[in-house]
Structure formats: C-alpha cells, structure tokens
Amino acid sequence: MEFSQAIRKIYEDEFLSVLDKPPGLVVDRAETTRGETLMDWLRSYYEEKEYHSKDIPERMGVVHRLDKDTSGILLVAKTQKAFENLQTQFQERLVQKEYLALVHGHVIESGRVEGSIGRNPGNREKFTVLESGKEAVTEYEPIERFKVQSASLKVWFSDFNNIQLRKLERQNYGEFTLLRCKPKTGRTHQIRVHLKYINHAIVSDEKYAGRKVFRLDKRWCPRIFLHAAKIRFRHPVTGEWMELESPLPEDLKKALDRLKVVVESKKYG
C-alpha cells in the first residue's frame, strides 16, 4: 500500500496541516520499523517544497502520535514556531480530542477513568494502570449499544459446535457499545488501557483484548476499532479556535454496519 496516496489533508495553511492518518501507518521512524512512515512522507514533502534543512521543524512537525492501527486526525506543524505553540497547547491541556471506540460489553452510563499509566512490568510492550505511573484521565460516553442474537452468532461462527456457541453466549460475547472517548491527558495507549481497566476492551485490540477474544473479533472487524474523530485547538499563529473532524473510515464503517444488520441496537439520547 502506498500510504502517501492514502493520507488525506483535512486542512492546510502555511503554518500547519491537519492530516487524516490511515490505519497501518507508523508515525515515528525506529530501528524496528520497516517501510514507509509518516515521518518519511513528511521528509519527502519538505524536500519537494524545497525547504532548507534549518527550516524543517523538530520531529518533522509531528506534534502528537497515533498508534499504528489507529486512524484519524493528526496535527503537523510546518514551522518551528507553530510546532512549539502546538506542543505548549498539548502540555497545558488546551487541545480537546475525541475518539470513537467500539468496546466489548454494555456501557450504560457516561463515566471517567482516572488511573496512572506506566509500562507493564510483565510485558514491556504493553502499558497498564500503575500507582507509580503517569497521571492519566479519560472521559467516555455511550453512543449506541448492540446485542448479537444467538442465530446471528451461528452465522458469524458457522464452524463452531453447539458447546462453543453456548460458551460465547455465557461470556456475553455478542454485547458491544460504541463510545465517544475524550482523553484529558496523552499517555501511550491511554484509551486502550483505560477501557481494558474498566473491563470494556476495544474490539480487535490485539494487545489488550486478550488473544482468544482478538481472534474472534478479527472475523468481522479487520483492525482495532479506534478512530481519532475530532480535534479542537487554537491556531498557532492567529489564536483562532479551530475544530476539525474525520469521518469513520470505510473498514470500521463496514464492521459497524455489519453489526447493525445482525443485532438489536439501542441508541442513546
């Protein structure tokens, strides 16, 4: 896949770009990363625009990150001054972000998770809620909840025998909720960790949903159902408040549409 062809610009001026990051694209370069990254794409952009090396902002202008398989809005500064201004806004928690996440289980009420996050001592590739971690706060609000009926589970898992299907039903596998999540801090894997912490792991989250659940999810949802849908911040030069949105991408829309076809759903007001 040519990521350079898949990166859509939601907004652009001479000071910043607001990009719509596709899933599967790594933001940062690293020794373990092979293939094109967003930073590689940005370097090509600056070369094409004939930027002098001293005019290229720090970190190629990337102000914040999204995980590889998370899609959605990403801010990129085009000058060092804009980069520093946007970084300060993040540090002072002026930037407001909103994500859409489909999770396991029924979430009935809006809530707030306050749990410090740090690396998991048992697996350094994962993060977890730790007393010694960094402060992290996530607010969430249910949008719609779904219940997959027994007949539909049989269609989804046609290779399962009756014992396996009954086990799925006992585990309430067919219950899901679409959430609107608002992280108040910016820790690595924050939304994923916090939702797992309250026993509502994100659908198709390989790291945090559990190996068996992840395999079930992948049958109907191709990747983690987490999308950076909206962002609000002050323009780094004019100071004007900006609010930009990214629509749910096709792969997640298809998964959600498939879910709606085979379930009873209830929308929240």
User: Which are the contacts of 245, defined by CB distance < 8 A and separation ≥ 6?
Assistant: 10, 73, 229, 230
Tell me which residue range forms the domain holding 260.
97-269
**What CATH number corresponds to the domain at position 177?**
3.30.2350.10
Give the C-alpha separation, 247 to 222, whole Å.
Answer: 18
Q: Is residue 202 a contact partner of residue 101, using CB atoms and an 8 Å limit?
A: yes
**Enclosing H/E stretch for 64:** none
Is the pLDDT score of 19 beyond 60? Answer: yes
67 part of the active site: yes
At 86-120, the pLDDT tens digits run 999 999 999 999 999 999 999 999 999 999 999 99
- Mean pLDDT estimate for the chain: 91
Kindly state whether residues 33 and 150 are assigned to the same domain: no
Q: Is residue 177 a contact partner of residue 145, using CB atoms and an 8 Å limit?
A: yes
Kindly state whether residues 86 and 101 are assigned to the same domain: no
At 128-161, the pLDDT tens digits run 999 999 999 999 999 999 999 888 888 889 999 9
Chain position carrying tokens 């930009």: 244
Tell which of 59, 92, 125 closes a domain.
Answer: 92
At 242-257, the pLDDT tens digits run 999 999 999 999 999 8
Kindly state whether residues 102 and 79 are assigned to the same domain: no
Give the C-alpha separation, 96 to 195, whole Å.
Answer: 19
AA letter at 67:
D
Tell which of 65, 92, 119 closes a domain.
Answer: 92
From the CB of residue 261, how many other CB atoms can be counted at a distance below 10 Å? 8
At 23-43, the pLDDT tens digits run 999 988 764 455 688 888 888
pLDDT, residue 252, reads 97
Indicate which residue of 13, 55, 67, 69 is catalytic.
Answer: 67
CA 22 distance to own-chain centroid: 11
Q: Are strands 16-21 and 71-77 parallel, antiparallel or unpaired?
A: antiparallel
Tell which of 47, 68, 92 closes a domain.
Answer: 92
Phi and psi angles of residue 83, each rounded to the nearest 5 degrees, phi first: -60, -50
